[in-house]
Amino acid sequence: MNRLHIEPRHHAGEGDLACEDALRVTGLEAWYGESHILHGVDLHAARGEVVTLLGRNGSGRSTTLKAIMGLTDTRGGSVRIEGTETIGMQPQSVARLGVGYCPEERGIFAGLSCEENLLLPPRLPNAKGTPMPLDEIYAIFPNLAERRASQGTRLSGGEQQMLAIARILRTGANILLLDEISEGLAPVIVQMLARVITMLKSRGFTILLVEQNFRFAAPLADRFYVMEHGRIADAFESARLPAKAATLQALLNI
């Protein structure tokens, strides 16, 4: 297949970055050991924007989230969080700037109850968001209120995904990196997660979403990036989705 055309994108000046972008990634490179996975990834997300990374498995989408957090063996380029350069920071320092990472494997602690998992992470001292109170989290995720005493790994897959997201909301993180949150879940849970993302966007959260489920991501995102072989192959706004349908169908088998 021919590589998708890379559309020109506006590159703001330094003053604009501080005002407009919650996240800006420029020339991001990443390695696992000797394997060079990311090759000059450029993307950005404005405050209150939902941005989706599309692509086949192995295209570098999940590695992009990990590299933003500093979880790859080696990385280079630039990752700016609210205007602060983080490329030399450890993952815990990136998180303290208000970045919440929800990995595909969710990271629920087996030996803790649902509520203990929820209460575990501390408030992020430098985050710009407001930690969500426990009663509000339970109002958003009533399943978690009902299962608060249950062991974390005894929750259903959907409930574990709710818990993984809810745990981030307690910290005050205002930039969310969400990796395949709809994968393997029942349609009713996927619809609930879509409503939660819509609600978080309305409250000003910035969300970078990695998804294989295009039908889940399409109505949520303001903009899309398509990845191939560790590079950004295309970028477009949601208004251009109809024009991109044939290309996406060939690439993603949707």
pLDDT at position 13 is 39
Residue 3 within a domain: no
Residue 194 within a domain: yes
pLDDT at position 126 is 67
Residue 1 within a domain: no
Question: Nearest 10 degrees: CA dihedral of 165, 167, 169, 172?
Answer: -140
Task: Quote the pTM value.
Answer: 0.88
Q: Provide the percentage of residues in the chain whose pLDDT is more than 70.
A: 91
Residue 5 has pLDDT above 70, yes or no: no
Residue 167 within a domain: yes
Listed in order, strand segments (DSSP E) in 47-194 are 50-54, 74-81, 84-85, 99-102, 175-179
pLDDT at position 253 is 67
pLDDT digits (tens, 9 = 90+) for 113-129: 999 999 988 887 766 77
Instruction: Evaluate whether 141 touches 170 at the Cβ level (below 8 Å).
Output: no
Strand partners, 194: none
Pick the closest to residue 21 from 175, 154, 144 (CA basis).
Answer: 175
Residue 127 within a domain: yes
Between 46 and 17, residue with greater pLDDT: 46
Residue 236 has pLDDT above 70, yes or no: yes
Residue 34 within a domain: yes
Instruction: For residues 230-251, give the mean pLDDT.
Output: 87
pLDDT digits (tens, 9 = 90+) for 176-198: 999 999 999 999 999 999 999 99
pLDDT at position 9 is 35
pLDDT at position 65 is 98
**49: domain range?**
14-252
Half-sphere exposure of 53 (CA within 13 A, CB side): 29
Residue 5 within a domain: no
pLDDT at position 111 is 87
CB count, 10 Å around CB of 157? Answer: 13
Lowest mean pLDDT among 13-17, 148-152, 223-227: 13-17
pLDDT digits (tens, 9 = 90+) for 202-223: 999 999 999 988 889 999 999 9
pLDDT at position 214 is 85
Between 67 and 244, residue with greater pLDDT: 67
Q: How many domains does the chain have?
A: 1
pLDDT digits (tens, 9 = 90+) for 11-23: 333 334 344 799 9
Pick the closest to residue 22 from 77, 81, 79 (CA basis).
Answer: 81
When the pLDDT of each residue in the chain is averaged and rounded to a whole number, the result is 88
Residue 2 within a domain: no
DSSP secondary structure code for residue 207 in this structure: E
Query: Domain with 211 in it: what CATH number?
Result: 3.40.50.300
